[in-house]
Amino acid sequence: MDYLELAKTVGILTGISGGLALLMSIAQNTIGNYGEKEITINGEKKLIMDGGDTLLAGLIDNEVFLPSACGGKGTCGYCKCKVLSGGGQLLATETGLVTPEEAAEGIRLSCQLKVKEDIQIEIPQEYLDLKQWETVAYRIDDVTPTIKRVFLRLPEGEEINFKPGQYVQILAPEYQGNDEEVYRAYSIASSPSKKDEIELLIGYIPEGIATTYVHQHLKEGDTLNIIGPFGHFFYQDTDKPMIFVGSGTGIAPNLSILRYMQENDIQRPGIFLSAGRKIEDLPMKEEIDAIAADLPNIKMIWSVTGADPGTWDGPTEWVTDGLKKLVDDAKDSEAYLCGSPVTIEQIVDVLTEKGMTEDEIFYDKFQ
């Protein structure tokens, strides 16, 4: 091959390469770019979002907040909504949490559904009434080696109205080692009578984005955005005997209920079970016992499953085994359960075997 032919070949290859690069650039700017799309909510409210984003993200950008406890990973199922049109086919990432019956009604996970056309949805009116506040973390305490107690004050003149047992979502900002903002759900531990502030219990989870922020970066005086209140787990105004189960940060919503009962002198019978591996893993035990002193019909059961010899003379079984011993007949009682999905499922099995109906069981599955 002479130099002229070589030059021609190089020129052709360069042209092809340049053409491919141009096509790739065009593809990158067009594939997945759906332009602006319209969300119609409940046949009335209309919003604009960026096509290609998830429905949940589009709603958040427009300050419409659905419950979400998993940061959009599709593992909690809280962000379900009804899609009337424009949602496309149910995705494989939704099938684990959306039943066939729900799918037939148009129920979708908003964190998984990517909006590629105008979409019409239905959501409960209560979600449209949710508010967002920039709070100040005015006090942070260590209550166990892995749990922090965070007090958040709302802006002056603002109030949060919640039912004892409900939760808020906090927005963990970007920080060193994390380049994304994420929402995470945390139950409110304070009484609803305190309307200008809330108290949260936040446990540390290695590599957890929000928990790492709170435990390693959040300082007293820092601001923290919250949204809420959320949740259908809350105190039921009946006279039925009560069964509380919650360990670690799972005591938070039940603590809110106990404080509400104490303030309103509600003297219902019941039991309160909480367990930890070590004594120091029982958060706020002394304070909760002091509250319980004003609620003498509530029997407090603390259990330590791995106590050092000679340091604990109380129960040592886990909460499921404790329930089996303590409860003979759960018929006509109410249960308030907080904890991991596996633990809650085990407790539900115990209670239903002892006569409790599922509509008398209220739970908050911590993700």
Quickly name the fold that domain 130-230 has: Elongation Factor Tu (Ef-tu); domain 3 (2.40.30)
- What is d(CA 113, CA 295) in angstroms, rounded to the nearest whole number? 47
In this predicted structure, the answer to whether residue 315 has a pLDDT above a threshold of 50 is yes
Checking phi first, is residue 263 left (phi over 0); if not, alpha (psi -120 to 50) or beta?
alpha
The pLDDT of residue 10 is above 50? no
pLDDT given at position 30 = 46
Q: Are 36-126 and 242-365 equal in CATH topology?
A: no
Is the distance from CB of 348 to CB of 339 less than 8 angstroms? no
pLDDT digits (tens, 9 = 90+) for 237-264: 999 999 999 999 999 999 999 999 999 9
Instruction: Return the domain boundaries, the chain.
Output: 36-126, 130-230, 242-365
CA pair distance 177, 296, nearest whole angstrom: 48
CATH superfamily, domain 36-126, is Beta-grasp domain (3.10.20.30)
Computed over every residue of the chain, the mean pLDDT equals: 90
For domain 242-365, the CATH architecture is 3-Layer(aba) Sandwich (3.40)
- CA dist., res. 52 & res. 39, Å (int): 13
* Number of residues that make up the chain: 367
Q: Are 178 and 191 in contact (CB under 8 A)?
A: no
Using one digit for the tens of pLDDT, what is the confidence trace for 212-229? Answer: 999 999 999 999 999 999
Q: Do the beta carbons of residue 263 and residue 241 sit within 8 Å? A: no
**Of 146, 301, 129, residue with least CA distance to 208:** 146
Token pair of 50, please? 């960026």
pLDDT band at 367 (very low <50, low <70, confident <90, very high): low
Question: Biggest alpha carbon distance in the chain?
Answer: 101
Mean pLDDT of 109-135: 94
> Does the pLDDT of residue 8 top 80, yes or no?
no
pTM: 0.83
